[in-house]
Amino acid sequence: MKIKVNSLSNGIHNFALRKNVGEYDLEEPFVGEIDMAARVDKSNGQIIFDCSFEVMARLQCDRCLEYYDEKLTGEFRIIYMRDEVSEEDEKNDIYQLMPETVYVDLTKDFFDYVKLALPMKNLCSEDCKGLCPSCGANLNYETCSCETEVVNPVWEPLLKLKK
C-alpha cells in the first residue's frame, strides 16, 4: 500500500485498498482478499498512519488436522517524523520522513503485522475433540470403539506424525 505524501494536505485522510493475497505476494496460509485501511494524520512535523487489516487464513487444526478458514484482523501505527530518528525509534515503527520523499510504502509493514496475526495454536474450534490416538478416527465426526482416554496435549505432535 503506497501513499503519496508529498502533495497531501495537513489533516486527516483515509485510504483503503483491497487486494487478492496472490496479487499481493502474501504466501500461504493466506487466502482470498486482504482489506487494508490507513487513517493518515498529517501535520507539519509528522505523519501518523493508523493502519488496520482483515484477511482470511486457511489453517490446519493442531488436534484433528482438518483445514479451516479463520478471519484475522489487526491494527498498527507507523509514524514518519521530519526530525531525525534513532535506531530505537525505528524498532518502534517511527521513521524519518525525508524532504524528497514522495511515497510512503506501507506494504512491508502490512506484511509484518499480518504474519504476526497468525495464531500460535490452531484450533478449528475451542472444543475440537481431535483424533483418536489409537485408530486415528476424527472424533468430531465419528466415534470409534477404542477405549477412550483423554489425550495429553504433549502427544499431539506425535499423533500428527503418525498420521
Query: Closest approach of Cβ 46 to Zn ion, in Å?
Result: 46
Q: Which of 24, 63, 110, 113 binds Zn ion (CB under 5 A)?
A: 63
- The yes or no reply on residue 56 touching Zn ion (CB under 5 A) is no
Pairing of strands 94-96, 67-81: parallel
The window from 14-22, 32-40, 45-53, 132-140 that contacts Zn ion (CB under 5 A) reads: 132-140
CA-to-CA distance for 112 and 53, rounded, in angstroms? Answer: 12
Query: Closest approach of Cβ 54 to Zn ion, in Å?
Result: 23
Q: Which residues contact 49 (CB under 8 A, 6 or more apart)?
A: 3, 38, 39, 40, 77, 78, 79, 80, 104, 106
If the CB atoms of residues 64 and 159 are measured against Zn ion, the closer one turns out to be 64
Query: Interface residues with Zn ion (CB under 5 A)?
Result: 61, 63-64, 124, 128, 132, 134-135, 137, 144, 146
